[in-house]
Each structure stands twice: as structure tokens, then as C-alpha cells.
Amino acid sequence: MEKFYFPTPLAHDLTGSAQGGFNDPYVRLRLVPEVDSRKRQTSIHRGDPNPFFDEHFKFPVAHDQLQDKTLVLQVFDYDRYSRNDVVGEVCMPMDEFDVTSSIEVWGEITKNKKPPEERQEVLLSLSYLPSAERLTVVLLKARNLFPAQERDPPDPFAKVYLLVGGKRVKKKKTAARKGSANPVWNEALSFNVPANSLSIAALETCAFQVAFWYIAGEACIINSISLDG
């Protein structure tokens, strides 16, 4: 089986992502369709929008099979407290390049969404009882609440904040679910909200890593969403 080497020399002008810019970029490489299960990625370049990687990667694939494959280079922004941000990718159809000799190609990074298995999501329901002026939030479950990098599975709980006029006025939280990135809470949290305040009310739901709570005296946030009234 022949092995082909793909260098990742450098990237240029990695700035201005929706999360506040590229801070600590690195690149993950794979051939599609895949030729093995090995993960290949560059080192992380701290605070460098123009990283020079100068790293080589090899794939076990025959030359006649290479023409049917695409080299995908995904650019990530490393985040020590949560899942790394997928910033974009470059796709290189191998039938467009002669890789029998060394070549250098600049490819434009295209924005893309995270794949479903990497999206952090929460399922909840809302109901309002006018006669009692009570807003009820049922936290059903969440998925892909991955902890900070290289930590044990999280013990997540959720906090729900009631905001009125942009200010947090009340908060409630669920119980923790031990060792689960896909917790099922199925808990109802109720808030007293006058009917005339509904139009300026909002809810903010945050998922936290409870294990950090006992160590540092404060919870480590995993992710959050906001719902306007």
C-alpha cells in the first residue's frame, strides 16, 4: 500500500470569526471517503492569525484510489473551557492535483456549521398560566454537553435566569446528572411573572459543569441560550 504525504505549511489572515476572532488555531485533516480511523491534526498555535505549521501527514492509500477522494482541512479555534470552535474548512478534490510531485496550494476557508454530533443543544418547553401569572420552564434534556478539553465526563446541571428589562431578577437550577454529556433532567422550574411584564421578559438557560463547582467555588459554564419574551 502506497502512503501519500500531505504538508500543512501555513495559513494566512485567520481573523474575525463570530466568536471573536481566531485565537489559537489548528488544522484537522482527513480524506473523504476515509481510509482509516486515525485522527490527524496539527499543533495549536497560540494567538497567531498567520500560523506556520510546517507539519507532514501520511495516509495509507493507493495512487489509483486517491483520485476518487477529497482532502478536507478543517480549521479549529482551540477553547480550553468548551468544545473547540469549527471555523471553516478547505476541500481539495484529489483528481484536480498532481501529487506525484510537491505542490503548494492556497485554499479559501469556507464557513460551515458544526456537524450534528458536535452541536450543543437543549430541549425545553414553556407554558404560561395567566390566572396565576406563572411561567413554567420544563428542562427536558440536553446533548453533547462536552466538558473542557481532556477532562472526565461532566456532571452537568442547568440554571435558568429570568430577565426583566435586560436584568437578571430570579434564577433556579436543576439537579446535577453525574457523568453524562447527554443529561435527562425532566424538571419543571416556575417563575412568577406579571402579565404586563411578559413583553420585556426573557429567559437565559446555562449548562454548567458541577465538578468544578466543588473545586473552585464557582461553576464552569459549558454553554448557554437566551429566549426573549
Q: Which domains does the chain have, with CATH numbers?
A: 3-115 (2.60.40.150), 120-228 (2.60.40.150)
Structure confidence by residue, pLDDT tens digits, 75-103: 888 876 656 777 788 888 988 888 777 77
| Spatial separation of the C-alpha atoms in residues 151 and 214, rounded to whole Å | 15
Tell me what pLDDT residue 153 has: 66
Tell me what pLDDT residue 133 has: 92
Cβ neighbours for 87, distance < 8 A, ≥ 6 positions apart: 14, 17, 22, 25, 75, 76, 77, 109, 111
Please list the ranges in the chain whose pLDDT falls under 50.
1-5, 9, 16-21, 148, 150, 210-224
Which among 74, 93, 92, 94 is positioned nearest to 84, based on CA atoms? Answer: 74
Tell me what pLDDT residue 217 has: 34
Which among 24, 32, 140 is positioned nearest to 75, based on CA atoms? Answer: 24
